[in-house]
Structures are given as C-alpha cells and as structure tokens.
Structure 1
Amino acid sequence: MFWKRRHTRITARPTDDQLMALLRDRLDEMAPGFTMGSRVHNGMLLGHTGWALMALPNHTDHPAHFDLGFSGDVSLGAESIITDCISGLGDFPDALDGVLHLWSETSGACFLEVATGGTGQFADHLRGGTQTGGPTNGHTYGDAGGQTNRQTNGHAYGDAAGHTNGYATGFATGHTAGHTAGHSAGHTAGHTAGHTAGNSAGRTAGDTAALPGWHTISSGVIAYGTDDGANEKLQQALLDSEVLRVLAAELTPVLNRSWPNGIKVFLCRTPNSVTAEIRVDGVVAEAASNAMAALPWPALQEVAFARFYAVAVHPE
C-alpha cells in the first residue's frame, strides 16, 4: 500500500521539524522508498542506514533563508556534515516552495548521490585525474559506473542569498531529460523561466569540468529569472566556464577537511553588475568568489541567476 504524507501549506517560516518533514516528502518524490524508516527529531531527519539531514543555525536573519546540512553517515561525527544555504524569493509560501525546489535539484541531488553509494543516478561524478601528494581518505562514497542516463524533473527557483531584493519572483517548471553535449534543455511554464542543465554522464578521469586532482560529485546547473533568453544565456555560460577547473588555484587551498567538502556556486548577472559567491563548507571562499566575478560573463538586458552544488569527495 502506497501513501503520501499530507501537509497544510505553510504560510510563514516553518519550524525546523516542519522543514525536515517537507524535505522528506521531496526525497520521497526523488527516490521513492529512500526515506522508509526515517524519523524527524529535533530539527533532523534521520535515516535508518545512518544518513541524516539537519537544519543548521542561519548565518542571516532573512526569514526565507535556510542553512542545511547533510551526512551520508552521521555516526562519523560533525566533520561528516556537508553544508549548504538557500534563500527563497518573495513571500511565504512561494519562498519556501522555491527553497524546496532549489534544494532538490542541487545539494539535495548531491546528498542522495552520497547517501545511496554513488552510482551516478542523482548527480554526476567528475574525475579530476591523479594528484600526487596531499591528504587522502578512505571515504569515497562510491564512483560512477558507466552511463547514468539520469533524468531531472526541474523546478528552478530562487537562491540569491540576500542578493535578490527588488527582483521579480516567480515559479517555473522545467522538464529536463537526458544529457546531450554536456547539458540538457529546459522547457518552462509560467512567467519566470527556469532551466536545469546537467553535466554529461559517466565522465572519466581527466574530465575538463572537474576540479583537478579531485573526485567531485556535481549537480546540474539551474538558471532562473524573469527572462527566458537571459536565463539560458547565463546557464550556458556557467556550464561552459568550468569554474571548478578554472578556479582550482583559489579553491584547492580551502578544501582542507579530511571528509568531503561541500561547494556552493552562485552567480547573479544584471545589466550593470555581477555577483558571484562560492561557499566551501558553509564559509565564503573570498578569493574564489572574486575570481569568479571577474570571469567574462555575458552581457544581459535582464536579471538572471544561476547556481549549482558540488561535493569534493577526495583527492585522486
């Protein structure tokens, strides 16, 4: 017998337990049966195999901003927790809908990839080739096996993390399938266009999009805003930029955990400005963020945003 939990639509900031229940529902949609036997307790969603999601203290007082953590095996301690932060646009409940959609397609996809053993079903594995020297660890969470042919049913929405005040909000439903030449096409509905693009599946050692010397799990790229053309342009630019490789000199020094490092990549392009933010394990990587902002992003006539999430699993 199959059943679905029923929730009243939340019109204000949810409690931590409410948020975990909503994320559990989202995981049920992404991976039916994955949350069986899980429980919500004290702001955590605990899986019966040891995985966990958790609400973390917010680093901003924005009501639609959420700091989240996940672990493939929380019994390994605090260092096993990989962090992300997400902001929704507009008022509740739309802002919360946006957070849930954005999480599911970026850091949520990476979480499922980590928690399910790393087969490539939910996120892509980028191989950065062999690195000599440096720290190593035995927690690989699995490698991608062959072609993944994964599908992403995308609901692209707002991230912005405080950079979006005054910009129009909206809800987009993008349906993306397969991976062609390293990205997938998004079809949008509604007045705000959302596009999700994934990296090509089954990549091998020496992948040019990879962080050199690292095995990295990466979500697809989401672009969103009020103009379909601007969204597509920024999405393609972020895909083509291969920022993990290009910014390796700035990123590698801050990947200093013995456990996997979480990398959030956010980009906002307006007609007059560029805002770029890279966070590693929840902390702004200033040098990498500044270097990303200085890259030659396309000129746009409308505001557009793009984001993806990656987990630097271990040096190779």
Structure 2
Amino acid sequence: MRSRWRRNADGDGLAALPEQAVLAIVAEQLSEMSGRPFELENGRVKGPGSTAVVLAKRPDHAGGDGHLDLDFVLNVDRPQDTTITDCVAGYGESPEAKVRQAVEMWAGTTVSAVLELLAQNGRFAAHLAPDDPDGLPGWHAIHGGVIGWGTGERYEAASQWLGDHAVLPDLAPALTGEPFERDHLIGVKVFFGSTDGTDTAEVRVNGRVHPAASQALRDIAWPRTAGSTYARTFILLVHGPEAH
C-alpha cells in the first residue's frame, strides 16, 4: 500500500517541569513547525488567529511521570466545539528531555493534522476523502504523521508497518458510540506496540479510551518483535456524513 503519511522519529515519555517551562517548549516547537508565532500568554500558548494550546488537568486521567494532556483549541471563544484533545508521554534522561520528546511526538502526529486543517494545502498531513478506501467511510479525515520508537534491531517495525498500512478501515466497524455524538472535529489517537511479546494497543477518541476500537487494534497482525517496537499516529475526523 502507498505510504502517504509516513513520518518517523527516533526515541523513547516525561517528568514534571513547571507548567510555564512546558508551555515554553510547546510554543517553541509549534513556532518552528508552523513558521508562525506561538507565544506564552496568560497561562497558555497563544497561536495565530483564535488558536491556543493549553495544558489540561483531567482528574480522571492523571497518567504518571512522563505524561502530558494537551488541548489544541481552534477557537478560544468556542472551546467546547473546537478543542482537539490528546495525551502523550515522552522518554529521556532529564525532565526537560522527556518534555521535549513528548512535545515532539505530539507535534509530529496530532499537531500535523491540526495544522493541515488550518492550511488545507497538504504540507503537514494527508487528506482522506469520505469515499477513500484508506479512510473512514463517510468522514473527511486528515491523517497526521507516524512516530516510532523502541529498542533492538527492529525497533522501527511498528512505525514502518503503520506508515505502509491504512489502519482506519480496520478500526471502522468499532469506531462508534458516545464520542461520535459530535459530528465534527473528532480526534482519534492510535498507539500500539509490544515489548518481548507483551502487547499494548490503545485507541482514544476525543481523549477517551475507546475499548472496542482498542481491541480491534490489538487484533490486527502488526509486527511483534524481540526487544520493543511502538508507533503512534493521530487522525482528525473533520466532518461526518451529516455534513455532506
């Protein structure tokens, strides 16, 4: 299958830095990636126009060391309808290194899809039409980049597979339920991999674990290797059948 959204990064997610320090790293990464200014403002990262990024505090998803909840808000005047929710973890030898890698992973997957929504020029991510065989039937989707990490000779096996394999059709039968009550701007995070035969597979829809889709992901024959291999991507479902 053609690889239309492949984007890999090396690495292993995250320790506690002061919130302002984390936001400063987010602003730096987004400014460099987009070529437009993202700046600290009133406890958030203010982007061009009505956009902003905030560090979310979700008591039901505290995570642990090496974990961030990040919300990309497309319109700060309508956050309920325009917030793209995600979480990410990074790895490194220092708190700053962990934060930087987490933000890089988030930027390479989630932010790539969001920036493409704003740019609409194919620079940041791939568009999948509602009838595209690689997409989700009935939905216009923007497929963000692929990030991979792990250990051993085949640490890139999961990300290489994800870069070459359309995962949305495999998940489509399971992608139903409460998170799809919103008919636009639905974020789907796909994260999977294995370490010496122990599998991890997680699909989050609008920031919440989707059990059926996670099980469908676990059932796919993606590569399991000696050592560890993990991959992550993010797909933004822009609008559903009601909008066509």
TM-score scaled by length of structure 1: 0.66
Residues 1-316 of structure 1 mapped to structure 2, 5 A cutoff: 13-32=16-35, 34-35=36-37, 38-42=39-43, 44-58=44-58, 59-90=61-92, 91-114=94-117, 116-129=118-131, 206=132, 208-231=133-156, 233-253=157-177, 254-315=179-240, 316=244
Question: What code does the residue aligned with 2:50 have?
Answer: G
Structure having the higher helix fraction is 2
Alpha-carbon distance in 2 for matches of 1:272, 1:107: 28
Describe the SS at the equivalent of 2:119.
Answer: coil
| RMSD, matched Cα | 2.0
Distance, in Å, in 2 between the alignment partners of 1:24 and 1:88 is: 17
Offset of residue 100 of structure 1: 1.9
Distance 1:295 1:69 in 2: 29
Unmatched runs of 5 consecutive residues or more in structure 1: 1-10, 130-205
Q: Which amino acid aligns with 2:68?
A: F
- Where 2:196 maps in the other structure, the secondary structure is coil
| Whole-angstrom distance in 1 between the partners of 2:135 and 2:27 | 30
Separation (CA, whole Å) in 1 of partners of 2:20 and 2:208 = 25
Deviations 1:136-195 (CA, angstroms, capped at 9, x unpaired): xxxxxxxxxxxxxxxxxxxxxxxxxxxxxxxxxxxxxxxxxxxxxxxxxxxxxxxxxxxx
Q: Deviations over 1:62-100 (max 9, x none)?
A: 132000001222222322111000011244232112112
- In 2 relative to 1, CA 61–235 (structure 1 residues): closer, same or farther, beyond 3 Å? closer
When residues 31 and 304 of structure 1 are mapped into structure 2, their CA distance, relative to the original with a 3 A threshold, is: same
Give the residue type in structure 1 aligned to 2:220.
Answer: L
CA distance in 2, matches of 1:299, 1:47: 40
Alpha-carbon distance change, 25 to 35 in structure 1, aligned in 2, over 3 angstroms = same
Post-superposition CA distance 1:17-76 (Å, at most 9, x none): 3222211111121122x116x44212x212351011111014124132000001222222
Letter in 2 for 1:60: A
- Gap runs ≥5 in structure 2: 1-13
Distance 1:30 1:61 in 2: 27
Count how many residue pairs are aligned between Structure 1 and Structure 2. Answer: 224
CA distance in 2, matches of 1:47, 1:223: 27
Report if aligned partners of 1:263, 1:311 keep a CA contact under 8 Å in 2: yes
Question: Highest CA radius of gyration, 1 or 2?
Answer: 1
Q: Is the 8 A contact 2:108 2:145 kept in 1?
A: yes
Structure 2 CA distance for partners of 1:73 and 1:117, relative to 1, 3 Å: farther
Q: Which residue is equivalent to 1:4?
A: none
Q: Is the 8 A contact 2:141 2:238 kept in 1?
A: yes
> Counterpart of 1:295 in 2: which secondary structure?
coil
SS at match of 2:26: helix
CA distance in 2, matches of 1:272, 1:39: 43
The one-letter amino acid of 1:244's match is L
Alignment-mate amino acid for residue 46 of structure 1: K
**Offset, 1:12:** 5.8
Q: Aligned partners of 1:314 and 1:290: how far apart in 2? A: 25
Deviation of 1:125 (Å):
0.9
Tell me: higher relative CO, structure 1 or 2? Use CA pairs within 8 A at least 6 residues apart. Answer: 2
**How far 1:228 sits from its partner (Å)?**
4.3
Alpha-carbon distance in structure 2 between the residues aligned to 1:49 and 1:219: 22
- Quickly say closer, same or farther: Cα 1:121–1:258, change in 2 above 3 A: same
Task: Tell me the distance in 2 between the aligned counterparts of 1:257 and 1:72.
Answer: 16
Q: Which amino acid aligns with 1:264?
A: K
Report the CA distance between 1:264 and its aligned residue.
0.7
SS in structure 2 opposite 1:255? helix
Q: TM-score, normalised by structure 2?
A: 0.84
